[in-house]
Chains A and B, each alone.
Chain A
Amino acid sequence: GQNIDQPTEMTATEGAIVQINCTYQTSGFNGLFWYQQHAGEAPTFLSYNVLDGLEEKGRFSSFLSRSKGYSYLLLKELQMKDSASYLCAVRHTSNTGKLIFGQGTTLQVKP
């Protein structure tokens, strides 16, 4: 089966750092994506990992460990506009683009 787990909700303070974890058990794996989604809006691409290690992009970093079926998204210097849902998605195989999404983590940033 396919299973992707993320915490449902998290709260953090403006200016702080937050780590959102994602664990996955899927029958195939060809990369892991993180998307940000504000309520009622389209998911927007944040990061992509296919090899183990850390990918850094400005205030956002994403880490992958394929042997552990684990990824995290790190958000630094949190801003109020970072309040959103963060979606972890696994690309299932190498010959299709099918993404399997977790339920998402709703992050609330407080002043």
Chain B
Amino acid sequence: DSGVTQTPKHLITATGQRVTLRCSPRSGDLSVYWYQQSLDQGLQFLIQYYNGEERAKGNILERFSAQQFPDLHSELNLSSLELGDSALYFCASSSDGQETQYFGPGTRLLVL
């Protein structure tokens, strides 16, 4: 158990819908990262937050957005969902913006 928690564990929804994935970092970690893992793409970096501020952005779609709250938990919002958005979404955290990242158990999203 890494100490990073993610909810929900599984999510099934329809195309065009919007969902919110939640992540709580390890105690004391200031930085949160979001990754997408699909079968054909491997782990893809989406976005990083550090102490509430956006620190780095990957190839995150405009339909996706994220934020980190004052209590350091983070949410990833996915809207206008498409079949291709079906994937495992992982959150990771680190003590600062550069140290080793520890991954949560992931949210498996299935878009039908």
Q: A33-B100, A97-B55 are in contact. Are A43 and B48 (CB under 8 A)?
A: no
Instruction: Say if the beta carbon of A99 comes within 8 Å of chain B.
Output: yes
Q: How far is the CA of A41 from the CA of B37 in the complex (A)?
A: 11
| Residue from B99, B101, B104, B105 whose CB has the most chain A CB atoms within 10 Å | B101
Size category of the binding interface on chain B: 20 to 34
CB-based contact B90/A99 at 8 Å? no
A 47-77 binary contact with B (CB < 8 Å = 1; else 0): 0100000000000000000000000000000
Q: Which residues of B contact A91 (CB under 8 A)?
A: 98
Please classify the interface of chain B as helix (H, G, I), strand (E, B), loop, or mixed, using the class held by over half of its residues: strand
Within 8 A of A (CB), among B68-110: 88, 90, 94, 97-106, 108
Q: Which residues of B contact A98 (CB under 8 A)?
A: 33, 45, 48, 56, 58
Task: For B98, give the chain A residue with the smallest CB separation.
Answer: A97
Q: A48-B100, A98-B56 are in contact. Are A43 and B45 (CB under 8 A)?
A: no
Instruction: Say if the beta carbon of B14 comes within 8 Å of chain A.
Output: no
CB-based contact B56/A101 at 8 Å? no
Q: A97-B31, A98-B58 are in contact. Are A45 and B97 (CB under 8 A)?
A: no
Q: Which residues of A contact B103 (CB under 8 A)?
A: 35, 42-44
Distance of B23 from chain A, by nearest CB (Å): 12
Q: How far is the CA of A43 from the CA of B45 in the complex (A)?
A: 14
| Residue from A42, A95, A101 whose CB has the most chain B CB atoms within 10 Å | A42
Q: Which residues of A contact B44 (CB under 8 A)?
A: 101
Q: How far is the CA of A59 from the CA of B44 in the complex (A)?
A: 28
CB-based contact A87/B105 at 8 Å? no
